Chain A
Amino acid sequence: MSNKLTMALLASCALGLLGGAAMAQDFDYGKFDGYTLKVKLIGGTQYEKLYTRIPEWEAMTGAKVDIVSSKAHFDLDREIKQDIASGSISWCVGSNHTSFAPQYGDLYVDLKQHIAQAELDKYVPGTLASAMVDGRLVQLPRVTDVSNIYYNKALYADPAKQAAYKAKYGKDLVPPETFDDFKNQIIFFADPPNLYGTAFAGKDEGMSGRFMELLRANGGDIFDENWKPIFNSDAGVAAVQWFKDIYDAKAVPAGTVNYGWDEIGAAMAAGQLAIDLDWPGWASYFSDPASSKVAANLGFAVSPVGTSGHRGGWSGSHSFSVTEQCDNIPAAVSFAVFMTNDESEMMEATAGNLPTRSKTFSDVVQWFKDNNKPALAEMFPIWQQSLAEARTPPLIPQWIEVSNVIWPKVQAAIVGQEEIKAALDEAAAQATTIMQDAGLLK
């Protein structure tokens, strides 16, 4: 899955440049006068800017949009599960994510049956491939997430630090290319409580995902080809040891084991972190002097490689889905396409997000140059490099459940409550039960 995704992503970027003329065909958004489309959308500052385009779709189609729910994704996920359980799917379009989509069974329509192939060809093929569940296109991706490095250039440009680092590690002080260098630099830069080397998402899927990323970079994986959990391997132990080392060295805030994405983003913007392995969506926030103390010194780099010589490339896409029980599927499909069309993707990309349409990649770099944002123009080619080794979590309904047995045990090992191997063995045993119950593992 991952290699295919990688190749497809690379191929798509090239195709995006070459195939512009073929993609010029416009989608027919239709007319739905007097119809009210009920939608459940992910809330939060970085997601809601796109919703300012909704009035345009309303004016174009004559329909009205009723946002019946707008919540953080985990809350929205809970609400959608309650709707499924109570059989009350009275809405048509819902925000979705590649990590969540496999859980929802046949809640959403196969969009391949409702959207012409010519329109689907405008999306990055690899991104579209990861939006499929059991061969069904259950979501239209709106932005892609892949791990990348943000760093404070001022720290790397300091001659005293350059000399000290060279003397200590025998290497030049440049953004880390391996996880070993990454760890050394995190510990090297740390000067708590004013400056920490980094912070990591220490709970929920954030912790499981970061662990998975390092595990894969070290040559391991969550499951083998028969869905047997194998994350308690040597590669898994080394991955947890990496987190434990920077935690024990007090190079990260002690509270990082309780941090989610917002706390990490806030710490980076406050200039409290030297390096941050994070999502593209923060680029606009970090590079805005009004919100970020590191705006003038913000550097970008591809994520580091592990002992296998590869990147973990944790990736996924936010998306829109259309429910099977929608009373006006053409209107819902029209809305989902509109929210991910060239103009919408341009809006997402100018905020620093990785777009899901091939054409936008070249358009947005030019836009950054034209609008005097050289740092963000420099960022996009780096983000594309990271996409080359992008890998989603396992696209199975049990992923979130397995994630929920992994992260508490990884936490326990990091804070020294359990020995690393014992903690991972325990989590693997619980994950095995989950996979057996699901019938995926005999």
Chain B
Amino acid sequence: MKFLRSPRATPYLLLLPAIVVILAVVLVPLLVSFWTSFTGYTLTKPATLFQFVGLRNYQRLLGNADFWWAFARTIMFITIALNLELVLGLGLALLINKITWGQRTLRTIMMFPMMFSPILVGFQFKYLFNDAVGLVNNALFDLGLIHEPIAWLVEAGLANFSIIFAEMWMSTSVFAILLLAGLMALPKEPIEAARVDGCNAWQVFRHITLPFLMPFIYIALTIRSLDVARAYDMVKIMTNGGPAQRTELLWTLMTRVGYQNSQMGMANAMGYISIIVSIAFTVFYYRKLTSARAFMGGAQ
């Protein structure tokens, strides 16, 4: 009690509400979900929350080929989507940075895809890539480029391509906006000095612009890797992980197991294993971010 009344307690007391809220909305659910991953918790039978099954869920997952395929596919999905979004986003940012008239309007237009709900984007691309009535196939037919429909959402390669394409359409502008912010903050002096010293455009980009942008790139990559690792809505609408689990990602699988099958204990075990993906990407990008900032003299 004496400590509570002392000035030393003031910071702790001020922080207490925040700590309570964080405990209530983050730590407690995390602990409960972690506990359930060791139980046979079935959503429709609340009593099973206390049915301890030890490591059974994790042991079953180790031998579950469908889960590991979804795991690998999710890593592949993140890697391809992020790299393509980065390249296109960087290109867009560089182009828009060159514009001197109408840049604000273009920046606003560029943000439109981000404003759509992923479910809406899923329906939009499901229709575009539909093999029977889709706009893409109809256009290809009319141009005489194909003579029988392409099964965009069925063939393994094409189905994954279609989903990545939709993901890129929606989120490339996130990269573009973040990198454009970096370009706008770029000091002009080093670039002018390099040009005076005879550097060409590529050399300026490679040795000055890009190193300066790297911290922004890694921040964008970190944010987007967490986003893409949780990809669900769009995939659910476009293919629901199928056909034959060709587009199954961790979240479509976990949702089916957790909600449709009611096996929330097993779904949470999947969740805890899959967190490894997010942690790995975050740690990797954070290290890269730190080294990039160190290179720029921004951190030790």
**B and A form one assembly:** yes
Which residues of chain A come closer than 8 Å to B141, judged between CB atoms? 193
Which residues of chain B come closer than 8 Å to A118, judged between CB atoms? none
**B90 CB–A CB distance under 8 Å:** no
**B245 CB–A CB distance under 8 Å:** yes
Beta-carbon contact of A81 and B154 below 8 Å: no
Beta-carbon contact of A84 and B132 below 8 Å: no
**Which residue of the partner chain B has the closest CB to A416?**
B244
Beta-carbon contact of B245 and A401 below 8 Å: no
**A253 CB–B CB distance under 8 Å:** yes
Chain B residues 260-295 with CB under 8 Å of chain A are 260-264
Count of chain B residues with Cβ under 8 Å from any Cβ of A?
A: 33
Beta-carbon contact of B264 and A192 below 8 Å: no
**B44's contact among A84, A267, A414, A437, by CB below 8 Å, is which?**
A84
Q: Could you give 19 example pairs across A and B, Cβ below 8 Å?
A: A77-B260, A81-B43, A81-B259, A82-B43, A84-B43, A84-B46, A85-B43, A193-B148, A203-B243, A254-B151, A255-B131, A257-B242, A257-B243, A258-B153, A400-B260, A408-B242, A408-B244, A411-B243, A415-B244
Beta-carbon contact of B151 and A397 below 8 Å: no
A78-B149 contact, Cβ under 8 Å, with A87-B46, A255-B132: no
Return the CB mask of A412-425 against B: 1 if under 8 Å, else 0: 10110110000000
Chain A residues 124-174 with CB under 8 Å of chain B are none
User: Chain B interface (Cβ within 8 Å of chain A)?
Assistant: 40, 43-46, 66, 130-133, 137, 141, 148-149, 151-154, 239-246, 256, 259-264
Beta-carbon contact of A401 and B44 below 8 Å: no
Which residues of chain A come closer than 8 Å to B133, judged between CB atoms? 267, 270
Taken together as a complex, chains A and B put the C-alpha atoms of A42 and B262 apart, in Å, by 20
Which residues of chain A come closer than 8 Å to B44, judged between CB atoms? 81, 84-85, 103-105, 107, 397
Which residues of chain A come closer than 8 Å to B244, judged between CB atoms? 257, 408, 411-412, 414-415, 417-418
Taken together as a complex, chains A and B put the C-alpha atoms of A11 and B130 apart, in Å, by 45
**Which residue of the partner chain B has the closest CB to A434?**
B261
Beta-carbon contact of B243 and A202 below 8 Å: yes
**A204 CB–B CB distance under 8 Å:** yes
Q: A81-B43, A202-B243 are in contact. List 10 more A-B contacts (CB 8 A).
A: A81-B44, A82-B43, A105-B45, A193-B137, A196-B132, A257-B154, A400-B261, A404-B256, A404-B260, A437-B40
**A223 CB–B CB distance under 8 Å:** no
Query: Which of the four size classes fits the interface of chain A?
Result: 35 or more
A103-B151 contact, Cβ under 8 Å, with A404-B256, A408-B242: no
Beta-carbon contact of A254 and B264 below 8 Å: no
Taken together as a complex, chains A and B put the C-alpha atoms of A417 and B263 apart, in Å, by 27
Which residues of chain A come closer than 8 Å to B151, judged between CB atoms? 254-255
**B240's contact among A103, A105, A204, A270, by CB below 8 Å, is which?**
A204
**A272 CB–B CB distance under 8 Å:** yes
**Which residue of the partner chain A has the closest CB to B149?**
A193
Return the CB mask of A28-46 against B: 1 if under 8 Å, else 0: 0000000000000000000
Which residues of chain B come closer than 8 Å to A257, judged between CB atoms? 154, 242-244
**A51 CB–B CB distance under 8 Å:** no
Q: Chain A nearest CB: distance from B119 CB in Å?
A: 11
Q: Chain B nearest CB: distance from A248 CB in Å?
A: 13
**A27 CB–B CB distance under 8 Å:** no
Beta-carbon contact of A254 and B43 below 8 Å: no
Which residues of chain A come closer than 8 Å to B243, judged between CB atoms? 202-203, 257-258, 411-412, 414-415
How many interface contacts (CB-CB < 8 Å) are there between A and B? 99
Beta-carbon contact of A267 and B242 below 8 Å: no
Beta-carbon contact of B242 and A411 below 8 Å: yes
Taken together as a complex, chains A and B put the C-alpha atoms of A3 and B105 apart, in Å, by 69
Which residues of chain B come closer than 8 Å to A192, judged between CB atoms? 148-149
Taken together as a complex, chains A and B put the C-alpha atoms of A4 and B132 apart, in Å, by 42
**A310 CB–B CB distance under 8 Å:** no
A401-B261 contact, Cβ under 8 Å, with A103-B44, A253-B131, A254-B131: yes
A203-B43 contact, Cβ under 8 Å, with A400-B260, A401-B262: no
Taken together as a complex, chains A and B put the C-alpha atoms of A267 and B149 apart, in Å, by 15
Query: What are the 3 closest A-B residue pairs judged by CB atoms, nearest first?
Result: A254-B151, A412-B244, A257-B243
Beta-carbon contact of A85 and B264 below 8 Å: yes
**Which residue of the partner chain A has the closest CB to B245?**
A408
Beta-carbon contact of B148 and A258 below 8 Å: no
Most chain A CB within a 10 A radius of its CB, from B148, B152, B261: B261
Chain A residues 51-87 with CB under 8 Å of chain B are 74, 77-78, 81-82, 84-85, 87
Beta-carbon contact of A401 and B153 below 8 Å: no
Q: Chain A nearest CB: distance from B56 CB in Å?
A: 10
Taken together as a complex, chains A and B put the C-alpha atoms of A157 and B141 apart, in Å, by 30
Return the CB mask of A177-217 against B: 1 if under 8 Å, else 0: 00000000000000011001000001110000000000000
Most chain B CB within a 10 A radius of its CB, from A87, A104, A254: A254
Which residues of chain B come closer than 8 Å to A267, judged between CB atoms? 132-133
**A228 CB–B CB distance under 8 Å:** no
**A244 CB–B CB distance under 8 Å:** no
Beta-carbon contact of B261 and A404 below 8 Å: yes
**A293 CB–B CB distance under 8 Å:** no
Taken together as a complex, chains A and B put the C-alpha atoms of A426 and B132 apart, in Å, by 32
Beta-carbon contact of A253 and B149 below 8 Å: yes
Which residues of chain B come closer than 8 Å to A202, judged between CB atoms? 242-243
Which residues of chain A come closer than 8 Å to B245, judged between CB atoms? 408, 411-412
Which residues of chain A come closer than 8 Å to B260, judged between CB atoms? 74, 77-78, 400-401, 404
Beta-carbon contact of B256 and A103 below 8 Å: no
Taken together as a complex, chains A and B put the C-alpha atoms of A412 and B241 apart, in Å, by 12
Q: Chain A nearest CB: distance from B148 CB in Å?
A: 7
**Which residue of the partner chain B has the closest CB to A85?**
B43
Q: Chain B nearest CB: distance from A393 CB in Å?
A: 14
Most chain A CB within a 10 A radius of its CB, from B240, B262, B263: B262
Beta-carbon contact of A81 and B262 below 8 Å: yes
Taken together as a complex, chains A and B put the C-alpha atoms of A78 and B245 apart, in Å, by 21
**Which residue of the partner chain B has the closest CB to A199?**
B132
Which residues of chain B come closer than 8 Å to A193, judged between CB atoms? 132, 137, 141, 148-149
Which residues of chain B come closer than 8 Å to A82, judged between CB atoms? 43, 259
Which residues of chain B come closer than 8 Å to A103, judged between CB atoms? 44, 262
Most chain A CB within a 10 A radius of its CB, from B44, B153, B263, B264: B44
Taken together as a complex, chains A and B put the C-alpha atoms of A248 and B29 apart, in Å, by 48
Beta-carbon contact of A203 and B242 below 8 Å: yes
Q: Chain A nearest CB: distance from B45 CB in Å?
A: 6
Most chain B CB within a 10 A radius of its CB, from A192, A408, A418: A408
**Which residue of the partner chain B has the closest CB to A397?**
B44
Taken together as a complex, chains A and B put the C-alpha atoms of A254 and B43 apart, in Å, by 36
Taken together as a complex, chains A and B put the C-alpha atoms of A364 and B204 apart, in Å, by 80
Beta-carbon contact of A250 and B148 below 8 Å: yes
Taken together as a complex, chains A and B put the C-alpha atoms of A105 and B244 apart, in Å, by 31
